[in-house]
Amino acid sequence: MKQSTGEKVFYGINYMILACAGLLCFLPLLHLASLSLSGKDAVLSGFVYLWPVEWTTDSYGLLFEGTPVVQAFFNNVTITVVGTALSMLFTVLAAYPLSRKVFYGRKFLTLAIVFTMLFQGGLIPTYLVIKQLGLIDSYGALWLPALVSTFNMLIMRSFFENIPDELEEAARMDGCGEWKLLLRVILPLSLPMIATIALFYGVQYWNAFFNVMIYLNSPEKFNLTVLIQQMIRSQSLVTDMNNLGPEEIVHVTPEGMKAAGVIVMTLPMLIVYPFIQKYFVKGVMIGAIKG
Q: What are phi and psi of 104, to 5 degrees?
A: -70, 130
| pLDDT value, residue 2 | 72
| pLDDT value, residue 290 | 44
| pLDDT value, residue 280 | 63
What is the C-alpha separation between 35 and 255, in angstroms, rounded?
A: 7
| pLDDT value, residue 25 | 85
Confirm if 231 and 219 have CB atoms less than 8 A apart.
Answer: no
pLDDT averaged per 10 residues in sequence order, the chain, 291 residues: 78 91 88 83 78 80 80 91 93 89 84 84 86 90 89 88 81 81 85 86 90 89 86 61 52 77 85 74 49 41
| pLDDT value, residue 177 | 80
What is the C-alpha separation between 77 and 223, in angstroms, rounded?
A: 9
Provide the sign of the torsion angle of the four alpha carbons 252, 258, 259, 263, taken in this order: positive
**Please, what is the angle between helix 254-287 and helix 150-162, to 10°?**
40
Provide the sign of the torsion angle of the four alpha carbons 80, 83, 86, 89, taken in this order: negative
Q: Kindly report the CATH class assigned to 60-287.
A: mainly alpha
Confirm if 160 and 181 have CB atoms less than 8 A apart.
Answer: no
| pLDDT value, residue 288 | 45
What is the C-alpha separation between 269 and 38, in angstroms, rounded?
A: 23
What is the C-alpha separation between 279 and 191, in angstroms, rounded?
A: 8
Nearest to 145 by CA among 171, 122, 170, 177: 122
Domain ranges within the chain, ordered by starting residue? 1-56, 60-287
| pLDDT value, residue 236 | 54
Contacts of 190 (CB under 8 A, 6+ apart): 156, 159, 160, 163
| pLDDT value, residue 117 | 83
What is the C-alpha separation between 89 and 107, in angstroms, rounded?
A: 22
pTM given for the model: 0.81
As a three-state string, the secondary structure of the chain is CCCCHHHHHHHHHHHHHHHHHHHHHHHHHHHHHHHHCCCHHHHHHCCCCCCCCCCCCHHHHHHHHHCCHHHHHHHHHHHHHHHHHHHHHHHHHHHHHHHCCCCCCHHHHHHHHHHHHHCCCCHHHHHHHHHHCCCCCCCHHHHCCCCCCHHHHHHHHHHHHHCCHHHHHHHHHCCCCHHHHHHHHHCHHHHHHHHHHHHHHHHHHHCCCHHHHHHCCCHHHCCHHHHHHHHHHCCHHHHHHHCCCHHHHCCCCHHHHHHHHHHHHHHHHHHHHHHHHHHHHHHHHHHCCCC
